[in-house]
């Protein structure tokens, strides 16, 4: 039986407008996702990700109109902590979005790898990821148009799967506005259908969002607070199972469990940050991402948990990157053979390598034992490798990217 991934890869590489699709990343509920090369007018090229909206959705007028509107807003965002949208358009009957390619993991995939390998994510790195996420969100929330009017951008789906971590240590928020486009086609659905469609997303919804009320930047603050709570606790905040309310109902109630004692440094201050970011009434919540960021920055300084993108990137590459780099080298050799006319079939990317794009809802187990208590074990001594080791990692990654295309 041919799987969708194999079927999608069978006709690669192929032209799609100004893009050459040469690697299938995955398929989600909204789009098929490809690694592509964009050809420039004077012959230069760059790697990017192309999301081809599924035909059934592209033909849905409400969805298409909202997606185009939101993508236009997202294309205005230009910040180190936000995935850049390059292009939006149609080719034939396919609506598509082209965006920046991030070489690395999303946070959800990284935590799954940590769980399988029983490797704890150092506490300072987890705090760093949340701080960088807040920087990206704050920029988007404050963005204005050319006349200085606020664009009032709200992400609406801040979750581990939408937080991308590059091997260079960058943290980028992706898929601004796509959740809003998805919600337009859910209007009028039955409660059971809505809960199924939002499964996973509801795990990170603010209570006002789950109730269908109008939302603002404070909804993204609440979602970021959930991410921080889960990193600290090492498990999902909302549990699922027989006899328990649906995720959507739990999100509406916002019954936030108290963070169990974790033995973290300055834990009282961290609890205060979580309490304020996860306040059920938005009037009691942080008024902005920047307000939460200031408190989290102060906490990181006082608790001596400050770190850098270099340390995050080096830890990822040293802990999980070697296998992926070697596999991608072999894929690049196959792609080079394709360019010379050879008939080569690329195997689909494995699940951990889907990390560069959000293709499925987060699926972290709710039991404490299923995911390591990632932020409990502090591993500062394991963060800093020798300068030679860092140089080797940088050279390997640079060679891997340059072998495919010019950026």
Q: Which residues are catalytic?
A: 157
User: Residue 48: which of 357, 360, 317 has the closest Cα?
Assistant: 357
Greatest alpha-carbon span in the chain = 62
Cβ 242 vs Cβ 306: under 8 Å = no
Provide the sign of the torsion angle of the four alpha carbons 328, 359, 355, 74, taken in this order.
positive
Token reading at 179: 């959740």
Q: Structure tokens of 366? A: 């709710």
Helices (H), 3-157: 4-10, 55-58, 61-75, 107-117, 123-142
Cα–Cα nearest to 354, from 174, 146, 158: 174
Name the nearest CA neighbour of 110 among 317, 346, 339: 317
What does the angle CA 59 – CA 214 – CA 130 come to, to the nearest 5 degrees?
A: 90
- Residues with Cβ within 8 Å of 237's Cβ and at least 6 positions away in sequence, in order, are 203, 226, 229, 230, 256, 257
Place of tokens 């102060």: 298
For residue 293, with 0-12 CB atoms within 10 Å meaning exposed, 13-18 middle and 19 or more buried, which class applies?
buried
Distances (CA, A) of 142 to 78, 297, 381: 12, 19, 38
Instruction: Quickly count: other Cβ atoms within 10 Å of residue 93's Cβ.
Output: 8
In whole angstroms, give the CA distance from residue 110 to residue 121. 9
Count the neighbouring beta carbons within 10 Å of the beta carbon of residue 381: 7
Q: How far apart are CA 371 and CA 270, in angstroms?
A: 21
The string of DSSP codes covering 120-139 is: PPPHHHHHHHHHHHHHHHHH
DSSP β-bridge partners for residue 166: 104
Q: What is the distance between the alpha carbons of residues 244 and 250, in angstroms, rounded to a whole number?
A: 9
């Amino acid at each position: 039986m041919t799987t969708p991934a194999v079927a999608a890869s069978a006709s690669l590489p192929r032209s799609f407008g100004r893009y050459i699709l040469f690697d299938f990343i995955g398929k989600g509920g909204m789009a098929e996702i490809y690694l592509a090369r964009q050809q420039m007018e004077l012959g230069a090229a760059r790697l990017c990700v192309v999301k081809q909206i599924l035909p059934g959705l592209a033909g849905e007028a409400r969805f298409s109109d909202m997606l185009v509107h939101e993508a236009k807003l997202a294309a205005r965002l230009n910040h180190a902590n936000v995935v850049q949208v390059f292009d939006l358009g149609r080719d034939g009957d396919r609506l598509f979005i082209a965006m920046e390619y991030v070489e690395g993991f999303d946070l959800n995939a990284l935590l799954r790898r940590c769980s399988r390998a029983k490797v704890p994510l150092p506490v300072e790195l987890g705090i760093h990821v949340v701080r960088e996420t807040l920087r990206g969100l704050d920029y988007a929330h404050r963005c204005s148009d050319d006349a200085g009017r606020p664009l009032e951008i709200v992400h609406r789906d801040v979750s581990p799967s939408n937080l991308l971590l590059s091997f260079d240590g960058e943290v980028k928020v992706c898929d601004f506005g796509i959740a809003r486009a998805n919600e337009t086609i859910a209007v009028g659905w039955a409660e059971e259908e809505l809960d199924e469609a939002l499964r996973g997303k509801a795990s990170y919804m603010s209570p006002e969002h789950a109730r269908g009320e109008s939302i603002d930047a404070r909804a993204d603050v609440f979602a970021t607070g959930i991410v921080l709570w889960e990193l600290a606790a090492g498990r999902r905040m909302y549990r699922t199972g027989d006899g328990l309310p649906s995720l959507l109902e739990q999100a509406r109630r916002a019954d936030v469990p108290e963070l169990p004692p974790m033995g973290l440094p300055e834990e009282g201050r961290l609890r205060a940050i979580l309490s304020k970011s996860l306040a059920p009434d938005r009037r009691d919540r942080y008024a902005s991402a920047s307000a939460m960021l200031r408190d989290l920055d102060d906490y990181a300084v006082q608790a001596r948990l400050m770190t850098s993108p270099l340390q995050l990137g080096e830890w990822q590459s040293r802990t999980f990157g070697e296998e992926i780099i070697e596999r991608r080298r072999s894929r690049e050799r196959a792609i080079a053979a394709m360019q010379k006319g050879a008939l080569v079939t690329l195997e689909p990317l494995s699940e951990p390598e889907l990390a560069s794009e959000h293709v499925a809802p987060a699926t972290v187990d709710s039991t404490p034992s299923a995911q390591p208590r990632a932020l409990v074990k502090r591993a500062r001594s394991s963060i800093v490798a020798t300068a030679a080791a860092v140089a080797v990692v940088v050279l390997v990654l640079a060679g891997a990217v340059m072998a495919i295309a010019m950026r």
